[in-house]
Amino acid sequence: MTQYRERYEQIYGQLTRAELQKGSRGLDELSLGPELFGHDPELWLGFYTLEGLRTALEEYGLVDDLRRLGFEELDIEIGTSDPDEQLFRLHSTTPPVEDPLVELLVRRDFLHPRAPLADRIDQAPLPVLTVTWLMLQNPCAPFNSRRPPLPGQEHPGLGVGLQVLEMLRNICLRLDLAALVTVPSYFHNAFFYSEEFFHFDPRRQGTFLAICRDLMPKLKNDVTAASWAIYWEMVRDRNADEDSPFRWFHELMVAPVADGLVDYFQASSYHRDVQQSLTSHRFDVDRQAVKDKMRRRGLRPFDPEKIQTWINT
């Protein structure tokens, strides 16, 4: 549970459907077209209006969080024409910033577990909210020694990831969805998500935990160094059949909301399989090689001139 859970659950209970659908068309305004019986292109995820989303961001305090970072006026953009994938963007208009602060692509989806894991869940398929893309960035802030670039970053993060996670979780509650799911693009994404997310496949969860167990202490618990080391394919699994670089796996992680999925991750069978996978891996990394490459790239020690030569290429 994140530090925001209790407060955000209170706000969730206080927000009404009328507030979240403020400005929506009444029944008398709808034509007898497909939107009356299915997808309404004016509602985000089939539920929220633009005004309703703005109200939610204010009530949850995200607007105030961004004002403290210097973004005084914000503009929300939503894309609802595609029923399969919904867009949310948050821009700063004061000061004017070209790049978005938040960019999110989500879809209402179903989790279709395969055997034998499917046999461990009473109800399948399960309705979920899939996050296909999430970017939280501060285009006005430079990278620095405390916040060097991570793989895939063009700007530092906003520092509001946990708040956004809790709001997405509340969307699942509002829409009666069983879980929030995503596929982390990089190790650091999975590491940051791991407070609330677990790999659906327990073998992958065991692999991830083995990476954390073996790699982080060797790199002085520096998630930046660990993520770059994996991205640069400088990590090896000494227990693997072939002595080839470990490549990051793009596997589903789940933040369970419904009791059935919570039970799945708490079950002894899941933990048994995680433990078996955990003990089957032994990851190693050439610390000096990682250190040398980070120095050449200007990551450690921090050198902004070196970083700028490659960060946007």
Q: Tell me: the pLDDT tens digits for 20-58?
A: 999 986 644 544 444 443 457 789 999 999 999 999 999
| Pairwise CA distance, residues 202 & 116, whole Å | 12
- The pair of three-digit structure tokens given for residue 208, joined into one six-digit string: 């991830």
- pLDDT at residue 32 in the model: 42
Residues 6+ apart with CB under 8 A from 57: 63, 74, 76, 90
Look-up of token digits 């709808």: 30
DSSP 249-287: ----EEEE-SHHHHHHHHSHHHHHHHHHHHHH--EEE-H
Residues of the chain with pLDDT under 50: 27-28, 30-38
Q: What's the chain's length in residues?
A: 313
- pLDDT at residue 313 in the model: 66
- Other Cβ atoms less than 10 A from the Cβ of 64: the count is 10
95 preceded by cis ω (within 30°)?
yes
- pLDDT at residue 149 in the model: 97
| Pairwise CA distance, residues 279 & 300, whole Å | 32
- pLDDT at residue 279 in the model: 97
DSSP 287-303: HHHHHHHHHHHTTTTT-
Rg, C-alpha atoms of the chain:
21
- pLDDT at residue 246 in the model: 96
**H-type helices in the chain, by residue range?**
5-14, 17-20, 34-37, 50-60, 62-68, 161-174, 187-193, 202-218, 223-231, 259-266, 268-280, 287-297, 304-308
- pLDDT at residue 35 in the model: 42
Contact 179, 126 (CB under 8 A): yes
- The pair of three-digit structure tokens given for residue 250, joined into one six-digit string: 């793009």
Farthest CA pair distance, the chain: 69
- pTM of this prediction? 0.92
| Pairwise CA distance, residues 169 & 217, whole Å | 32
- pLDDT at residue 27 in the model: 43
- pLDDT at residue 218 in the model: 96
Contact 168, 131 (CB under 8 A): yes
DSSP label at residue 105 = E
| Pairwise CA distance, residues 226 & 220, whole Å | 9
